[in-house]
Amino acid sequence: MSLDDQPTSWLIDQDKITKYLLNLTHRSGGPKPRFFLAFGFAIERPQILAHALASHPILNPPGRERTMPLGYPRLVFEGPLETPDGRAPQIRTVWQCEHPTEARFLTAVPLTR
């Protein structure tokens, strides 16, 4: 995917941040909150993680496009994430393109390289 083809809006549902990525009590999300909290993100300031995630595709182009058998195409980005404590862990973000100019955040996965 070229930079010209990338979406211009990166949409993130706040519940994905507060109820999953920063929620230590989520039944399947325990490792991810521990990861993000360790880098200075906080449940009291979900907008900071949302901003960092929305910046991730812009700072780590180009994304790899994945065509799904059913549904919308997805974009995958890998690279460093800006964090409150200044470290830059490697993560993968996955976005679903429901409109040519918009991508909706699906998930973030820490990379162990």
Per-residue pLDDT of the chain (113 residues; tens, 9 = 90+): 444 678 999 999 999 999 999 999 988 767 999 999 999 999 999 999 999 999 999 999 989 999 888 889 999 999 999 999 999 999 999 999 988 899 999 999 999 86
DSSP 11: E
Q: What does the pLDDT read at residue 29? A: 66
Alpha carbon separation from 75 to 71, 88, 106 (Å, rounded): 13, 21, 10
> Residue 113 has what pLDDT?
64
User: Going by C-beta distance under 8 Å and a sequence separation of 6 or more, which residues neighbour residue 69?
Assistant: none
Residue 6: which of 73, 82, 102 has the closest Cα?
A: 102
Domain parsing of the chain, residue ranges = 3-110
